[in-house]
């Protein structure tokens, strides 16, 4: 299947977030900050490898997913200036790490960032009406588990597999039989329209058939990030924007583990001694590495390529 239309319908959410230190993060007139910070040098290879292993969750094709189409984030549920800042920051980080960005400010969003007082109610609606937004799952038990909100900020990834001919296949557990139509109704009114995904239930991929790389790659189609304001009142907008940007630009399924290198993900991880207030040098080096990998090689090869890029930045590269 060369592609399909997949629209997350407009969701109007009323609550406004009272944020600590919010005045420190106005919407900038122009990009003035970088995604890197100083302080990491001569990091051992083993530490870098462990960091990458924890940060990378292969998609259905067994590859690290990236954005191939231009990212187009949209933030709802906050006061307009804070929502605009988070949206801007995701685009700014994408620009700095080499991810594609939608040129048109009026683009159709493919990253929805939703702040809502009852996040579980939102995901219950997604699970019931539009489970495709949960990402890939093999059975109903897995879908139920995916729909559970367990973190203050949580993400869900819809991916596609691209074959050697450039054909895109929606990553779905449905196989065999006839064409399946999945209706995506309005989750929360008011909504503007609805859409239907037509899925060929038999998946046929054109591959190279070699062990060095099968010719398949994984690309993002949609990312949903949901945040609970009640659990984030002690965090500055800038820190949350960087945290969300990391989740929106690479697939991280378990961000609640304290990393081997300083990371913005430590911000919400329990029992972390270091909780950076911004994206770290390790985070930025990792993201840049992800967007330089060979998309069709094995996941092991992709992780090695990310490690090489990180060693160049962190000073651990061997001659």
Compute how many other C-beta atoms are within 10 angstroms of the C-beta atom of residue 172: 20
* Rounded-to-integer distance, Cα 199 and Cα 191, Å: 24
DSSP one-letter code for 254: -
**Domain parsing of the chain, residue ranges:** 22-33+63-254
β-pair partners for 219:
66, 160
- Identify the pLDDT of residue 192: 55
pLDDT at 85: 97
Name the CA dihedral angle for 299, 302, 304, 306, rounded to a multiple of 10 degrees. Answer: -130
Sign of the dihedral defined by the CA atoms of residues 65, 66, 70, 72, in that order: positive
DSSP per position, 210-249: -SS--S-EEEEEEEEEEE-GGG-TTS-HHHHHHHHHHHHH
* Separation between Cα atoms, residue 104 and residue 167, nearest integer Å: 25
pLDDT for res 16: 31
- The answer to whether the beta carbons of residues 82 and 22 sit under 8 Å apart is yes
- Is-above-0.85 flag for pTM? no
- Residues 11 and 190: their CA atoms lie apart, in Å, by 7
For residue range 164-181, what is the model confidence (pLDDT) as tens digits? Answer: 778 888 888 765 444 445
Distance, CA of 285 to CA of 313 (rounded, Å):
6
Number of Cα atoms under 13 Å in the Cβ half of residue 318: 4
Which pLDDT belongs to residue 203? 55
Burial of 281-307, coded b for 16+ CB within 10 Å and e otherwise, reads bbbbbbbbbbbebebbbbbeebbebbb
Residues of the chain short of pLDDT 70, as ranges, are 1-41, 174-213, 316-319
**Among 225, 253, 197, 27, CA closest to 114:** 225
The SS3 of residue 60 is coil
């Amino acid at each position: 299947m060369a592609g399909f239309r997949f629209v997350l319908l407009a969701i109007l959410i009323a609550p406004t977030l009272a944020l600590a230190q919010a005045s420190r993060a106005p919407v900038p007139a122009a990009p003035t900050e970088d995604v890197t910070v100083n302080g990491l040098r001569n990091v051992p290879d083993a530490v870098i490898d462990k960091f990458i292993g924890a940060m990378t969750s292969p998609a259905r094709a067994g590859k690290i997913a990236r954005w191939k189409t231009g990212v187009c984030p949209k933030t709802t549920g906050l006061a307009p200036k804070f929502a605009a800042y988070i949206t801007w920051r995701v685009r700014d980080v994408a620009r700095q790490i080499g991810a594609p960005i939608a040129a048109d400010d009026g683009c159709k969003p493919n990253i929805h960032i939703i702040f809502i007082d009852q996040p579980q109610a939102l995901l219950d609606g997604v699970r019931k009406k539009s489970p495709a937004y949960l990402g890939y799952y093999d059975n109903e038990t897995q879908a139920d588990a995916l729909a559970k909100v367990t973190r203050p900020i949580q993400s869900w990834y819809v991916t596609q597999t691209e074959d050697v001919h450039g054909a895109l296949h929606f990553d779905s557990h449905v196989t065999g039989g006839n064409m399946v139509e999945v209706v995506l109704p309005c989750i929360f009114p008011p909504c503007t329209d609805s859409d239907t995904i037509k899925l060929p239930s038999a998946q046929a991929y054109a591959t190279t058939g070699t062990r060095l790389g099968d010719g398949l790659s994984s690309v993002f189609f949609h990312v949903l990030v949901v945040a609970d304001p009640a659990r984030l009142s002690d965090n500055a907008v800038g820190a949350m924007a960087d945290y969300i940007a990391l989740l929106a630009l690479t697939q991280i399924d378990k961000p609640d583990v304290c990393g081997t290198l300083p990371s913005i993900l430590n911000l919400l991880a329990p029992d972390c001694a270091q909780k950076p207030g911004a994206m770290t040098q390790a985070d930025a080096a990792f993201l840049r590495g992800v967007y330089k990998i060979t998309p069709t090689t094995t996941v092991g090869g992709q992780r090695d390529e990310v490690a090489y890029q990180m060693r160049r930045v962190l000073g651990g590269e061997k001659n």
